[in-house]
Chain A
Amino acid sequence: MDSVLTQIQVVYALILRETRTRFGQNRLGYLWAILEPVFFVTTFALVYRILGRAAPARMPIVPFLTTGFMPYLLFRESSGRGMHAIEANRGLLFYPQVRPLDLIVARSTLEVATNILAFGLIVAVYSTYTGSLDISDPLQVLVGLGLAAGIGSSLGLTLCAASVFSSSIERLHGPLIRPLFWFSGLMYPTAQLPSGYRKLLAYNPIVHCVELTRTGYFRGYRADHVGPIYPLVWIAALLFLGLALERAARRRLVLS
């Protein structure tokens, strides 16, 4: 129990430290981090508007893109930043209290919190602007976002621990993640796809996260081919692999 408390203490200290090293002296630094996904969504919404395209099934374009992009961004950012956790903070392992796992947990937590805040900000600003807030099942939205964060964080853990053994692992991240931008149903409901493609895309766990988020957000949005079990299996498998690698990595790490 004592060691759990110590680890919580360490992770908390690391998060505070990370906000400082990452966002800088300036308090506005953190605001920029939150605004980044906001700009991302706004840019795409503008492109839709300019091209005169509408979201499918007359869904409002901003919530449609937000419910697609945010799970994807949660996944991409938490895995990408988690992956570099050890590399960027190797010096801190000098303190015996700090374990590699703490570095990864702290980074992922901060990343997830930032992106969830960004999601909240977009929804808040948008609903203030339109004068109505209509989320069908907020809990379900959080499940979708949470699963995406879970897959991203556990993938980050696995890649980070694996990169202790071979630094070329880090190069895999980009080619692995980027195509998923197009194949995760961010800009189209996967239920409308021909069944062959739909079945193929359902192997991608991010599709499930996106669709679960959307079924939670929009009343009457149907996506019967997805569920939380499949992403949960991914999380369990990645966690198992990542934690095993992290244990092995502890002996391998050279501090100086």
Chain B
Amino acid sequence: MITLTQVSKAYRTTRGMHVVLSNLSAEFASGRNIGIIGRNGAGKSTLMRLISGAEWPDSGTVVRRARVSWPVGFSGGFSGSLTGAENARFVARIYGMPTDRVLAFVIEFSELGEYFDMPVKTYSSGMRARLAFALSMAIDFDVYLVDEITAVGDAHFQRKCRSAFEDRRDRATLIIVSHDLTTIRSYCDSCAVLRQGQLQFCDSIDEAQRLYES
């Protein structure tokens, strides 16, 4: 459903090129939630942006045969000066969704209350994540790219996220990146380890843990 072929990505830094991904090939099938684990700086977020299509690889191709979300996480995508509602309206419009329906869903799901009509810059990071998560759930994606988000929020919100994903398990696939195996263990069927610019798929999450900790 999503195929990466020989994907490389490097960034310019003051100390020359920094290679993040080198010749990475991978295939993500639908219906199998997958967790990607890697240390800070291993290139997890870069990989997510490439899968989503927000950034382009330096070489290689990324083919998406499904409606893929943006990388849902704490950061990015919201303008601090606009309110939660205005941000939500914008995202609904670019995805061609009826704004009323999206807004109603987000109000209900995010439980932001009166904060929904306040500028996003007044939000805590947990509230931003709740807004991002609710917004992504309001739009019907085939694949949800989730960037470290599920560990936030209180137990109540986490339960809500879990049941939302279980509800759409048969029509939506999750790709989660994290540096923490607990999240991945509770959501995913399989796991891959990202290190040295390469993605290694593992048969079980325990195997991924051994590889990650080695």
Within 1-28 of A, Cβ neighbours of B (below 8 Å) are at: 6, 9-10, 12-14, 16-17, 20-21
Within 191-219 of A, Cβ neighbours of B (below 8 Å) are at: none
Stretch at the interface among B47-55, B123-131, B164-172, B184-192: B47-55
A: contact size bracket: 20 to 34
Asked if A179 CB lies within 8 Å of chain B CBs, one says no
Number of contacting residues on B, CB 8 A? Answer: 27
Asked if A174 CB lies within 8 Å of chain B CBs, one says no
> Shortest distance in angstroms between B78's beta carbon and chain A's nearest beta carbon?
7
Residue-wise interface mask of A (88-117) relative to B, using a CB-CB cutoff of 8 A (1 in contact, 0 not): 000111111110000000000000000000
Asked if B2 CB lies within 8 Å of chain A CBs, one says no
Q: Name the residue on A nearest B77 (C-beta).
A: A94
Asked if A225 CB lies within 8 Å of chain B CBs, one says no
A16 touching B93 in the complex, CB below 8 Å, given contacts A95-B54, A254-B11, A255-B54: yes
Residue-wise interface mask of A (230-256) relative to B, using a CB-CB cutoff of 8 A (1 in contact, 0 not): 000000000000000000001101111
> Shortest distance in angstroms between A254's beta carbon and chain B's nearest beta carbon?
6
Are A10 and B94 closer than 8 Å at their CB atoms?
yes
Q: Name the residue on A nearest B93 (C-beta).
A: A13
A94 touching B81 in the complex, CB below 8 Å, given contacts A12-B93, A250-B56: no
> Shortest distance in angstroms between A255's beta carbon and chain B's nearest beta carbon?
6
Chain B residues with CB below 8 A from A256, complex form: 45, 75-76
Are A93 and B79 closer than 8 Å at their CB atoms?
no
Are A9 and B77 closer than 8 Å at their CB atoms?
no
Q: Name the residue on B nearest A24 (C-beta).
A: B81
Question: Could you jot down 5 A-B contacts, CB within 8 Å?
Answer: A6-B96, A12-B93, A17-B82, A250-B56, A255-B76
Interface residues of A (CB under 8 A from B): 6, 9-10, 12-14, 16-17, 20-21, 91-98, 250-251, 253-256
